[in-house]
Amino acid sequence: MITFDFLLTVGVFCWIYFLWNRRRYYKLLLELPGPMGLPILGMALDYFVLFKRKIKIRTNYMDRYGSTCLTWVGPMPFIITRDPKIAEEVLMSSDCLNRSSQFTIPFAGAGGDGLLTLQGHKWAERRKQLNPTFKHNTLLSFLPIFNAETKALVSFLDSYVGQGEKLVRSDIVRWSFRIATQTTVGSDVKQEEAFKNDSILRSYETLMHMITMNVMLPFTHNKIVSTLFGFEHKKIEAANKIIALVDKIIHKKLNIKPEIGDSSSVINKAIELHRNGEIPFELVRGECGAMVVAAFETTGLTVYHTLTLLAMFPEYQETVYEELKDLFPTTGDFDVTYDDLQKMVYLERVLSETLRLIPSVPISPREPTQDFRLSSGVVIPKGVTIGIDIFNIHRNVDHWGPNAGQFNPDNFLPDNIRERHPYAYIPFSKGRRNCIGWKYGLMSSKLALSKILRNYKVTTSFRYEDLDFCDNVGMELAQPPSLEFHRRT
C-alpha cells in the first residue's frame, strides 16, 4: 500500500511538472482562438481520419476562429495564419529563418543535409555559397535541356491524341524530374541505366512518400516504429540507389580537373566547396539530392495544374493560344528562347493565377529560435511552429475580393498587383528564406506550357468546383483530373 501511495504521489508530481513546463503553451489558449482537440492526439483524428489531410479543415478553422488561430499537432501547439501582415512579420524576421524541425528532420534523415534542411547561420552561409548557381546566365545555359526534354514530352503526349482523357500527372512529373536531375548533376546522368529506365525516379518518389509520411505522422520517423512496419527498409533501399548514382557522378567529376570558373551548376559549386575544404563529401551528395527533390515535383505539378485549369476554362486557353500562335506561327518542334519567354505576357498571368489557386507548396512552417512577438502583442514561444498557410493566404477574401476562389488571370494585371498587399501572393515563400530556384521554376514551366499549348488544345470533363486539395510536401489533389489532347494546326 505504501509503495502504491508513493508511486501515485510521484506520478502526480511528474504530471504537475509536465504541465508547469508547458504553461506557456497553455497561455496561448487565452490569446489565440482555435479548436481544442483531444488530449495527446490534438487535431489528429479530424485531420487524418475525418478530413484525410484535406486543406479545407484549415480553411474551416480560420473561417470560424479568425485568420490567425491555434491548433494542435499531437500534444504540440501549431499556429496557422492566412493573414499577409502576419506572414510578412514572420518571413522577414531573423528569428524565424528556420523551417520547422518536423519538416527538416525527416528530409535530412532520408536524403542528408542540404539547403532545404540547414538551419540558422549554417543555412545563411550555404545560401550565399549557392546563390551563383541560379544567376541569370546559369539559367540561360539550361535552356537547351529545357527545350530538348520538353520536345520529348510533347512527342509523347502526341500518342494520347484521339485516345480520350488520360491521367498525365506522372508523365509531366517525369519530364520535370529529367530536367531537374540534368540541371543539378549534369547531362552525363543521361548515360546511366537507372536514369534511362526511370528506376532512379521511382526511388526518389518512394523517398518523397516516406518523407511525407514522417512529416504528417511524426511517430513514423521513430526508427523502431519505422522498422516494425517495414518503412525503414523501403527508405534505405530507395536512398541507397540514389546515393549510388549521385556518388558515381560526383567521383567522376572529382577525378577530372575542373575548368576555371566552372561552378555554374549545383554539383560543380558543391564540388568546388569540397575541394576547398569547406564542406565534407556527404554534403556534396546532400545538396545534389536536395535540389532534385526541391525542383522536380513542384515544377511538374505547376505545369500539370496549369494545363488542368486551362482545360476547365477554355476561353482563357484560347487567349494563351493566340499569344503563342503569334510567337510561333507553325506547330511541331521549335526552340524557345529567353526573349520568347519574355513576350509570353498572358501566359505568365495564367501561370501566376494557377500558383495562386494551387500553390506547389501549400504551407510553409517556421520555427522561432527565440520567443517571437507578433504585432498583435501575442508572444509565440520558442520552438512553437508557425504555419504560413500559403493556400489560404492566396484565397483570403479580404485581399483578393469576394471571388477569391475563382480562376481569373486578370488578378495579375499590373494595376491589380500594385493595389495588393505584397505578402498576399507568396507561391515561392518570400522574405529572408524565399525559394532559391523560383526563377528556374517559372522559366521551365513557361517553356513547357508554351510548347504544349501551341501544339495541343487540352480539355477535361472534370469540373473546377469538384477539385479537392490535400496537404502534402507538394500540393496534392484528392482526385487528379484526366486530360484529353487535340492537335492544333
Q: What is the pLDDT of residues 85-101, one digit of tens each?
A: 999 999 999 999 999 88
Give the model's confidence band at 262: pLDDT under 50 very low, under 70 low, under 90 confident, else very high: low
What is the gyration radius of the CA atoms in the chain, in angstroms? 24
pLDDT tens-digit series, residues 32-79: 999 877 776 777 777 777 778 899 999 999 999 999 999 988 778 899
CA distance between the termini of the chain: 90
144-198 residue pLDDT tens: 999 999 999 999 999 999 999 999 999 999 999 999 999 999 998 999 999 999 9
pLDDT at 346 over 60: yes
Reply yes or no on whether the pLDDT at 1 is more than 60.
no
Could you tell me if 443 and 137 are in contact, meaning their C-beta atoms sit under 8 angstroms apart? no
Enter the C-alpha cell of residue 297. 515535383
How many alpha carbons lie under 13 Å from residue 344 in its C-beta half-sphere? 28
Query: Which grid coordinates belong to 435?
Result: 525559394
User: How many C-beta atoms lie closer than 10 Å to residue 449's C-beta?
Assistant: 24
8 A C-beta contact, residue 127 and residue 258:
no
Provide the grid cell at 139: 539559367
Q: Where are the alpha helices (DSSP H) in 328-386?
A: 338-343, 345-357
Tell me what pLDDT residue 258 has.
65
Q: What is the mean pLDDT of the chain?
A: 90
Q: Which three cell numbers stand for residue 165?
A: 482523357
CA–CA separation, 362 and 53 (whole Å): 12
CATH of domain 82-487: 1.10.630.10
pLDDT digits (tens, 9 = 90+) for 303-320: 999 999 999 999 999 999
Q: Is 469 within 8 Å of 54 (Cβ atoms)?
A: yes
Q: Which three cell numbers stand for residue 21?
A: 513546463
Cell readout for 407 is: 480562376
Q: Are 288 and 184 in contact (CB under 8 A)?
A: yes
pLDDT of residue 421: 96
Provide the pairing of β-strand 379-380 with 76-81: unpaired
* Mean of pLDDT values over 365-382: 92
How do residues 378-403 score in pLDDT, each as one tens digit?
999 998 999 999 999 999 999 999 99
Enumerate the domain spans of the chain.
1-31, 33-81, 82-487
